[in-house]
Structures are given as C-alpha cells and as structure tokens.
Chains A and B, each alone.
Chain A
Amino acid sequence: MPYEATFDRLATQALFDLKGPARQLRDWVGELLPEFPEQANSGTMTGGKALYYIGLDHWLLRAELPEEQALIAELRPADAPPDISIVQISDTQAYFRITGSQADEVLAIGCPMNLHAREFGTGAASFTEFFGLRALVTRCDSGFDVAVEQSFGPMIEDYLNRALR
C-alpha cells in the first residue's frame, strides 16, 4: 500500500531574504510584517504573510505572489540602510506541499529532521536536508511545505513521484 499522501508543486511564492538585527529591520518595515519570531526555527503569520526566523539575524518573509509588488514597494530593498539587507528571492525557491495522513512518512524518506509534532509543531520552520538538498521545511494544514533551490525543482518532483509509487 503506497503512502496516503499527495504532493503539489506550488506556484512561485513571494519571498524576501531579510538580514540584520531584528530591531533595525522592524524600524525599517514598521507594522508591515508579522511579529518577529523570538525563537529560532519558528515562524509567525499575519494577514497571509509569514515571517520565519531561519538563522542568526536572518529571516524569511513569505507571501502569495500577488503580494510581491506591494511588498517591494513597502520594503524598499534598494533604499534600506546598510545595517540591514532585504533581497527579493521569490524565484530562487521551488515550493512543494506534501499533505495527507502519511505526509510525515513521505517527508521522512528525504528529511533527517525529527518532524514529530512534539518536536516540530505548528509554526516550526527549519532549514534541513531533503533528498540530499538544503531545504526549508515548514508545517501547513495537514502536511508540510518544503522549499528547495528552484533549479532542483524537477529533481525533487522526480523523487516525490518515486516516493509515492
């Protein structure tokens, strides 16, 4: 019996790489973003925008693609002060959504991280490995979102099709 799970490759997401101290970033973006998460490898969501704490002074802002231009206008990457860095990286990531009652089993084929709800619960977000690639894993309703470098998208699709044979 194959796994009870399916996957979809999501449309391009609006993504912005944010670096620098949280306070300076907050000063620059104002109320535009969700609250900055206080715990590493977690995220917060507001109004369809998610903000993930993915490294030391390093955040990732995610929204649906239609929000991209508005976010550029408000984030003003080119005008940001030198103490912070805001870079549009929407096209750098291929997003996959894996859902179903055994989504975690499918993830476990490619991902060495402990994804049990007790360890990786709602709001969790972490870079890890997926089929040997650097990947950002986050939880979604009834499953997980996995982002990998965009050029590896076809290979991950290949892998997931194999996993669900």
Chain B
Amino acid sequence: MQVNRLSHGGRINRARALSFTFNGRKYQGFEGDTLASALIANGVSLTARSFKYHRPRGIVGAGVEEPSTLVELMGNDASANRPVTTVPLKEGLIAKSVNCWPSPAVDIGAVNQLFARFIPAGFYYKTFKWPNWHVYEPSIRKATGLAGTPQEAPDQGHFEARYAHCDVLIAGAGPAGLLAALTVGRAGLRVMIADEGTEAGGSLLSRKLVIDGQPAMDWVAATVAELHDMPNVKHLQNATIWAYREHNYLMVNERAPENASLLERHWRVRAGHVITATGAIERGMVFGNNDRPGVMLASAVQTYVNRYGARPGKRAMIFTNNNSAYAVAADLAAAGIEIVAIVDSRDDVPEVARAVVPDLEVVAGSVVTQAQGLRRVRGVSVVPRSGGVSRTYSCDLLAHSGGWNPAVHLFSQSRSPLIYAEGPATFVPDTPAQSVSACGAAEGQFELSAALHSGAETAAELCEGPALTPPEGEDLAYAIEPLWRVEQATGKAFLDLQNDVSVDDVHLAIREGYANVEHVKRYTTGGMGIDQGKTGNINIIGTVALHQGIGMDEVGTTTFRAPYTPVSFGAIGGFRDESVVLPYRHTPLTKWNMDQGAFMYEAGARWRRPGYFPHPGEGLQEATNRECEAVRNGVGVYDGSPLGTFELKGRDVGKFLDYLYTNIMSSLKPGFGRYGLMLSDDGLILDDGVCLRLDEHRWIISTSTGHADAMNSHMEELLQTEFPDWNVFVTTVTSQWNNATICGPKARDVMVELGTDIDLSPEAFPFMTFRDGHVAGLPARVVRVSFTGELSFEVNVAPRHLRALWDKVLDAGSPHGILPVGSEASHVLRVEKGFLSLGHEVDGTVDPFDLGMGWVMSKKKADYLGKRSVHLRRDGPGVRRELVGVIPDPDRMIPEGAPLTPRGEKRPTEGFVTACVWSVVHKRWVGLALLENGHARHGETAQVRLKGGELIPVRVTPPVHYDPDGEKLRT
C-alpha cells in the first residue's frame, strides 16, 4: 500500500507497478520512481543511520546531493553506497541500508550517540596512535561501515569504456544546457550533451514552470526532439560527467546504455570546449537536529510531490532565507499538503514571494532552532532572530532551504577558480583555466529566464552569427539573505550530514589551529567522501567566516575533486576483464602448445609460452627432466620466436653497435655472429644477445624477450639524442622471424632429415655463423647459436611458415625421439651451463666482471656505453657479489632468492641463490648464486639461511656445471 502516493500527477507510469525489497520488507512502486520516491510513497521515513554517531536518518534530497541515505544493492544489481535518490526503481530490486546493524530501526551502533561528546572531530587522529592505527582500523571501519564492494561481477552484462571527441561537450540537459546545445547544434558543431538524470529537463522536471506560455516540459520535449534529429549531436541521459582533467579531457559514466548487454559505459571525451550547465544544488539550514528524518531540502520535497506524485509528509513547515521555498510551499499546498507556516529568517520578505502563497502564515525574521522528534520530526521550535519566546509548531515534515549553490564541481575540477558573489550569496565560476564556460544556474543564474538567456549567449560565443533568441520563462524572482547557521540552535547542528560534521566540530578545528578551510576539511572530514561539498561545503565556509570574523571570499573554497558522483570500478575498467584482463601474445605455435596440454604461462613481455609438456600423470619435475634428457642425450626443439629481433641498416651501424655493446661488433664479417652484453649508463648489465652481420650495411641483433621493447626505445633514444647524425635505421622484426630451435647431440641428424640446401658440416657452418637457404622446402635463415649448451640450429622462418616447419621438425626428429621443450627445461639447461638469465643473475646490480665475463669488456675500444661507470666502480673499495655455482649438501632444492649469510648467522646477507635446478647431467640439485667475493671462494662452503633459521650448506663452485669448455655447442 503506497500510503503516501498522491492520487494523480507525477512523471511515473502508474500502469506499471514494480515490486522491490528494502531492508527485507517488500514494497511496491511505479515505473519512473527512484528507490527514494518509492520509499517515500510507501511511508518509509527511517532509512539510514549516520556515519559516525549512528543517528536516525531519512531521505534528505532527491538527486545526487543526497547526503544521508546510502544503500547497498544486492543480487545482479550489486553495488555499494549508492545514494538512494539515484537508484532507478526496477522490478525485483533488492536494497538495504548501509552503516547500521541489524537495521536502521534497531541499530547496535546507535550506542555511539551516548558517547557523542567524547568522539568529536579529530578523535581518531588523537586516539588510535599506539601501537599503530592498523590495529584498530578493521573494527572502526566496520563500525562506521559503508558497504563493501561487490565480491563478484554481475551474472549478466558487461561494462564498456570508450573514447569520444566533440567540438562542444555540454554537461547538463536542463533549460540552459538544452538551449546551449540547440544553439551550437544548429550551428553545425559536433555536440555531445550528457545529463545525469533519467530524462532531460533538469530542474524543470520538478517545478511547474512555463516557457513561452506553454508547460516548460513541452519545450523540453520539443528541444530534445530537435536535438535528436541532428546528426551532429550526441545526447546521453543517465550519463554523469564525473571528472574534468587537463586538456579538456572529461570522464562520463553512462548508466543505462541502449545496448541491453551493457551494464554501464564509460566515455573518455576530448572536447574542444566544455559548457557546464550543471544546475544548482540547494543547501540546507543549519539548526539543532537538522538531520532528523522528515527534515528535507525544500526542493527535494517539491520534486517528490511534482515529479513522483509522492507525499513526504502531511503537515509541513517551511524554513527559508530565500524566495525559492515559497514556490515549493505553493506546490505543496496545491498537492493537498497542509502548510503550517513559513519561517523566514529575513525581516523583510519580498512581496513577490508572499504573493505566491498569500494565504499562508509567514513568520518573518525568525529561525528554527531545533527539530523535535527522534525517528521522525514531530515539530519545530521557532524563535525570532532578535530574541524572544520560542514557539513550537507541530509538523511531520520540515522543508528547508538555505539558498542555492551553483554545481561548480566540474568547473572547479578544470582548475578554474571560483569567486564569491554577494548577490546570490554563493561561489560562482570565475576566469576559466581551460576552454570551459558555465551557464544557467551553474553560473549563478537561478531564475528560468536568466538561465535560458545565459545558455543561448554562452553557446553563441562558440558559433558564428547571432545568438538564438531564447524563449521566455516565467519564474519567481530569486532573492536571498544568507544565513550560514542558526546561532540560537540547540542540539547538534550538522553542516555535513554525510560525514556527521557539526558546527561544534568546525569550531573545535579552528580552536586547535586548523583555521584554513583546507585544514578544517581535513580535520573534520567535512565535504569529503562522495558528498564532495554538494550540500555542506558553503555552510562550513560560512561557519568559518563567522567564527573568524572574515568574509566568505577570504575563506575561499576547498578543492572539488573527482568523481563528482560514485562510479563503478567496472565501468572504468571496461572490457579489461577475464581473458583480456592483461595483454597476451601468441606465437603461431601457441594453439598447438595448448592442444598438446602444455602448461602455459606468461614468460616475459606478455608472451604466453609453454612451461612444460606433461604426459598423463606427470608433474612439472618429471616432465622437465624428460625434456632435459632429450636435449642432453638426443634432440629437442623449442619455439624461440619471442626473442627480440631488430634489423639495423646504415653506414654507421658498426660504429653504433660498438658503442652499444661492450665488445667489438664492427669487426664481424658477413655471415658471422657474436654474443655481446649491453650496459646501462651506470655500467650495469642491461641486456645480452647476438649480433649477426648480413652484409656491409645490414645487421640483425637479438635481445632478450622481456627487454625487446625497452631495447628498441634505448636504441632510438641514443640515435635521436646522442647520435642524430649517424646513418642507422632500426626496424623491429621480432615477428617477421619466428624460429624453431633444434638442439641436442642429434640436432644435425634432424636437420639432415628435414632436407636443406645448406652445408651443415662443422667446417662449413661453424658455431656463431648463420646461413640463408631452405629447410624442409621453406625459405629459412639458420643460425648456429646455443642457449642450451648443446649443438643447436636456430631455424628462422616467416611466421606464416612456422607451424609447417614445426610439424616437419617433429616428423623428422621422431626417429631420434625428439621432444618439444618448454621454458622450464630451457631454464634447467642454461643453469647447468651457467648461462646468465635476465631477472635471475642479471638483476640490475651486476656488471660483466661480476658474472665472470670480463672478457666481453673490450680493451681496444676507446669508449662504449657504461665503460667508465664500470671502471669507476671497480676501482673503488666496494665488495662485489659475484656469480658462482652452488651444490647443496645435503642434496636438496633451494628456493630461488634464498639468502646466503656469513656462516649462516642472522646477519645481513652476503648473497643469494639466483637459481636451483635438478640437473639431469649430475642427477642432483645444482644452482647459481651471487656471492660476495664469490670468484675467490670456489671450494668453500657457504650457508643458505631460510626463513625461520633453517640452514643449508652449499659448496661454492665455478658457475659452469656442464661442458665448461663449450665443446658440445661447437660440435
């Protein structure tokens, strides 16, 4: 039973009833309702508890300004901390109040009210300091609990994030915004208009106004229709512009896109110009117990009556300092709500205001000092401002208006300053810092006609030709005498209802030295959170001004921050979910690998690579051992495609490579290759790889997989900043050359079996050379390099041929027992050989000498990148950590990264284990480590100290555990 639903009126569809559940009870509303209007229609007035004191709260506003009632939506609509006024009603909606347990009516946390005087602003900062805040944090968060984020994504639908561009972006589809859109739309500019409401009209939706002699909403409908027909205009409703960044880059959250599968759409808009036609937000009056359920903003009451046909009370008092509340009173009276009286703090109430409600009692020059009642307002105490006897009025609704604040949030986010205007007694936009302008109520033009003119004129400045002649709107003249707080207030008088910040809190902050308004904000939390100063800020500023005896302009405003209203994380993330939550790269063999049941993971630079190929019943170790055995004793093949590959061309490539690498590359003959190290400016190893010389001016270099992009940038930076005159062109060809690397003692047999026009004999095709030719009938470049320590042929082909080559290799290798080899086996094989790996032995702290690779530091070259730094460091007294082999004794695995400490004592480490693998050659665990003065300690026993103090003795050895002379790879 919708006990407070008016018999007629409102922009709701009474033919479509909707069932919903709130705090476990079932109710009904209508299509077009918000959850707030439906609750009001059902007579639910106690809807929340306050953030800190757990005071009973009701619905205060009707839009994004709602400071009191936040709800958590459940089920597929799961969403936390939504202002109840911004939740469109839908069939089956389930919602509950936040910040109360078990319910708003019976809330355990309400006990806080007993201790309210002991927990003022700043209480947390002063109290919960020892041993540290985090000890108390969980229980405090729970006690002041807002709802948590949903644990699971919605069952259906998805989010989308996208970009957009326009000449003019208009925030708000109220009268000023619509007329601005019409103006620039007719001028042919690309226009985007975004409005947070479910339908266009802004304040006109809540008021009974007339434009050009017709109901204002008729003008809205005609304007929207004309905009709809313009191909250059994009009009979004349910779309909030929630952030304004640099270079006119704005964020829009669209909550009900036309695509039914979309939950929300996030727009990142780059606009040539922005017009903020964001309207205005009513501020409340500050008096005792101004937070009781039934104490509402006057404009919100008007909205519920006019737009939703819902009656927030039966017997209303009005408290105001400005004219707008008189129009509200008139609308309420017309709807059959008894108006007890209008309390106006002004001594002289303008006649134009009185004329709107000639039959109502106006108590001029008086203020409400306190709202009476606990869970619902039952009456108000009123006294003359000049002093005198308090009078009590019985009522169940208090509609109050402290005036209007332009919604300057976006304008302020653009870093444009605000200025205090005495006339409307509020802060209004000042000089734009970006290409932005404000119009309508957002500019401080609170009367309809002025707002329309403002919209037309602001837009006309962006167009050529004269401005549109705006239609005439009829509205009550706006006049105000500011009242920042009722000085005679009794009881807690709240400035910021959302954060439970009272007048006393602000006074306390100032007494404690936090006099600047930014400090007041941080001390009290006033204006923080999702409120962002929508209702409370200016009253806080006014309270500070009064307390310090200075002007509003001297106090100034705090910074308005994004988001203007809460935004779903999902909308910001867009598609980045599930399989595309992180980027991934495939080679032409990725699908084959997965089809074979390979265990896949990312192995640098987003490449998905096979870790190992388990047979049924095998784990990682068994499969890895099997693959290693194949390479050491027979033959294996791996996909080496992700290795970074670059073609360098030009007269100065040799000179450039000599600078880039520590050793000499320019002396290479065509057809030959050389391994090298690259250093950073500070002489630490940056990357390693092989250079191949194709001809006099063309080279191919390889880099590690993970550093390919970084090395490309590194080379380009050097060429563009250090050597702009050098003739060197760099082209990335990583994905032009994929390779299958055949490795093992029987690799040559497999190559022969494949068929090739290349002479494979060691004499004709030695180690560190390459040949172009055909392999298995495919054009190929074969390189004799080895990353396993075995005879290897790296067969490079175009990716379009890799899958065919792979199949042929497996066929040709089948008689030799060839196996595909994953990254795990490759890791074991390189550890046995003592080959370095970026991220293991090369961790950003080592130079070539540390790794026993001093031979790669050319003594012939006058200079190369990092040379000076290496020598400066090595000439110093510092002890270096050097690469050694380690043999655990007893034979057991050591975790990678395990620290080595002097004699195993609990002391600063002297190194760490970089890798430890089961060696198929030695049939035991072997490892590598970086150890202080390691090169001089071969034969010693060092101690690995695990977490908890367990010690593992390790024998220190040279780092090459297998084929130290490299005979096998040169076979």
**Per-residue 0/1 for A105-138: is the Cβ within 8 Å of any B Cβ (1 yes, 0 no)?**
1001101111010110000000000011100000
Interface centre among B163, B190, B590, B738 (most CB of A within 10 A): B163
Contact of A109 (CB < 8 Å), options: B160, B586, B738: B160
B268 at the interface (CB under 8 A from A): yes
Residues of B within 8 A of A165 (CB): 158, 261
Contact of B800 (CB < 8 Å), options: A1, A2, A87, A91: A91
Contact of A155 (CB < 8 Å), options: B261, B583, B650, B736: B583
A46 at the interface (CB under 8 A from B): no
Q: Report if A91-B735 is in contact (Cβ < 8 Å); known contacts: A151-B586, A165-B261.
A: yes
**Per-residue 0/1 for A1-25: is the Cβ within 8 Å of any B Cβ (1 yes, 0 no)?**
1110000000010000101100000
Contact of B258 (CB < 8 Å), options: A1, A83, A84: A1
Q: Report if A92-B733 is in contact (Cβ < 8 Å); known contacts: A1-B258, A133-B583.
A: yes
B165, A155: Cβ atoms closer than 8 Å? no
Q: Report if A92-B735 is in contact (Cβ < 8 Å); known contacts: A82-B697, A154-B590, A155-B580.
A: yes
Q: Report if A91-B736 is in contact (Cβ < 8 Å); known contacts: A85-B731, A133-B583, A165-B158.
A: yes
**Per-residue 0/1 for B164-178: is the Cβ within 8 Å of any A Cβ (1 yes, 0 no)?**
110000000000000
Residues of B within 8 A of A132 (CB): 583
A155 to B585 CA separation, bound complex (whole angstroms): 7
A122 to B452 CA separation, bound complex (whole angstroms): 40
A135 to B840 CA separation, bound complex (whole angstroms): 33
A1 to chain B, nearest CB (A): 6
A153 to B590 CA separation, bound complex (whole angstroms): 12
**Per-residue 0/1 for B225-246: is the Cβ within 8 Å of any A Cβ (1 yes, 0 no)?**
0000000000000000000000
Residues of A within 8 A of B731 (CB): 17, 19, 85, 87, 89
Contact of A78 (CB < 8 Å), options: B161, B162, B651, B695: B695
A133 to B585 CA separation, bound complex (whole angstroms): 11
A113 to B651 CA separation, bound complex (whole angstroms): 37
A83 to B261 CA separation, bound complex (whole angstroms): 54
Chain B, 936-964, CB within 8 A of any chain A CB: none
Chain B, 579-611, CB within 8 A of any chain A CB: 579-580, 583-587, 590, 607
B736, A82: Cβ atoms closer than 8 Å? no
**Per-residue 0/1 for B134-165: is the Cβ within 8 Å of any A Cβ (1 yes, 0 no)?**
00000000000000000000000010111111
A87, B649: Cβ atoms closer than 8 Å? yes
Interface centre among B161, B162, B270, B727 (most CB of A within 10 A): B162
A160 to B607 CA separation, bound complex (whole angstroms): 20
A153 to B574 CA separation, bound complex (whole angstroms): 20
Chain A, 141-165, CB within 8 A of any chain B CB: 149-155, 158-159, 162-163, 165
A85 to B729 CA separation, bound complex (whole angstroms): 7
Residues of B within 8 A of A42 (CB): none
B260, A1: Cβ atoms closer than 8 Å? yes
B460 at the interface (CB under 8 A from A): no
B268, A112: Cβ atoms closer than 8 Å? yes
Residues of B within 8 A of A89 (CB): 731, 733, 736
B740 to chain A, nearest CB (A): 15
B259 at the interface (CB under 8 A from A): yes
Residues of A within 8 A of B258 (CB): 1
B799, A91: Cβ atoms closer than 8 Å? yes
A47 to B226 CA separation, bound complex (whole angstroms): 46
B575, A162: Cβ atoms closer than 8 Å? yes
A153 to B735 CA separation, bound complex (whole angstroms): 11
B701 to chain A, nearest CB (A): 14
Q: Report if A92-B736 is in contact (Cβ < 8 Å); known contacts: A109-B162, A132-B583, A158-B580.
A: yes
Who on chain B is nearest to A65 by CB? B800
B504 at the interface (CB under 8 A from A): no
A3 to B163 CA separation, bound complex (whole angstroms): 15
B163, A108: Cβ atoms closer than 8 Å? yes
A17 to B574 CA separation, bound complex (whole angstroms): 34
Who on chain A is nearest to B585 by CB? A151
B434 at the interface (CB under 8 A from A): no
Chain B, 679-709, CB within 8 A of any chain A CB: 694-695, 697-698
Residues of B within 8 A of A118 (CB): 190
Q: Report if A154-B259 is in contact (Cβ < 8 Å); known contacts: A91-B798, A162-B575.
A: no
Residues of A within 8 A of B259 (CB): 1-3
A106 to B889 CA separation, bound complex (whole angstroms): 61
A81 to B878 CA separation, bound complex (whole angstroms): 50
Q: Report if A153-B586 is in contact (Cβ < 8 Å); known contacts: A90-B736, A108-B164.
A: yes
A111 to B268 CA separation, bound complex (whole angstroms): 11
Residues of A within 8 A of B798 (CB): 90-91
B727, A87: Cβ atoms closer than 8 Å? no
A2, B163: Cβ atoms closer than 8 Å? no
B933 at the interface (CB under 8 A from A): no
7 A-B pairs with the lowest CB-CB distances in the bound complex, closest first? A85-B729, A151-B585, A114-B165, A85-B649, A92-B735, A150-B735, A87-B731
Sample (7) of A-B pairs whose CB atoms are under 8 Å apart:
A20-B729, A82-B651, A85-B731, A112-B268, A151-B734, A152-B585, A154-B586
Q: What residues make up the interface of A, taking CB atoms closer than 8 Å to B? A: 1-3, 12, 17, 19-20, 78, 82-85, 87-93, 105, 108-109, 111-114, 116, 118-119, 131-133, 149-155, 158-159, 162-163, 165
